[in-house]
Amino acid sequence: MGLLSKKDANLILDPLADNNPITIQVLGICSALAITAELKASVVMALSVLFVLGVGNVVISLMRNIIPSKIRIIVQLIVVATLVIVVDQVLKAFAYELSKTLAVFVGLIITNCIIMGRFEAFALGNGPWKSFLDGIGNALGYGVILIIVGFFRELLGSGTLFGIPVLGDPIAKTGLYATGYENNGFMIIPPAALIVVGIIIWVQRSRNKALIEEA
């Protein structure tokens, strides 16, 4: 990476794997459970968080020296809420269809612990450029897990990807369903997400033993 120094590059790359916000920091689990029943919602959520965390981290970082520490959490909350409302209003005016898809996520973004977590842990103590990279990195790390979970849940639960049937028609019994395969209804309810995330954590830690906490 010629564009970024090694340290800067790590800010983006670390959260993708060894310091992943969901599987290692265990932040943002709530939204990972709630919206991963279909792949499209996962992608939309990942992109929304990418924007809000990227911009929010920069804003907080720029303000870091003037924020009174006593009310910093409230200030962070206001920044997130403002960003989300701005995005929501602009979309409602210029991309109405998309805004309806996003409506569900607005509340979830504001309360997403990854965003507050990164503001608190990183942006308050680092410069804007580093904070921006950290925000992008963490949002990507979050998004990757969301998309993996969404992929498996939609495929196994509904037999579709992005709403398009890929395994055949379950009612007319074509494709894979002709062999007696059935959709697993359990996959589309939230506990399934916990199991998929659990499997990802398991796979990740068995590949990288350094991640295993001391018992």
- Residues near other proteins (CB under 8 A) are 34-35, 37-38, 40-41, 65-71, 74-75, 78, 82, 85-86, 89-90, 92-94, 96, 100, 103-104, 107, 153-154, 157-158, 163, 171, 185, 188-189
Structure tokens at 48: 């929304």
Identify how many contiguous H helices and E strands the chain contains and give both numbers. Answer: 8, 2
Angle (CA) 204-205-207 rounded to 5° is 70
Phi, psi of 40 (to 5 degrees): -60, -45
Query: Percent helix, strand, coil in the chain (nearest 5)?
Result: 75, 0, 25
CB of 206 to other proteins, least distance (A): 30
**1 or 90, CB closer to other proteins?**
90
CB of 109 to other proteins, least distance (A): 13
**100 or 206, CB closer to other proteins?**
100
Angle (CA) 64-66-71 rounded to 5° is 85
133: exposed, middle or buried (Cβ count in 10 Å: 0-12, 13-18, 19+)? buried
**40 or 205, CB closer to other proteins?**
40
Give bridge partners of residue 160 from the DSSP assignment.
165
CB of 155 to other proteins, least distance (A): 12
CB of 156 to other proteins, least distance (A): 12
**182 or 213, CB closer to other proteins?**
182
CB of 157 to other proteins, least distance (A): 8
**16 or 43, CB closer to other proteins?**
43
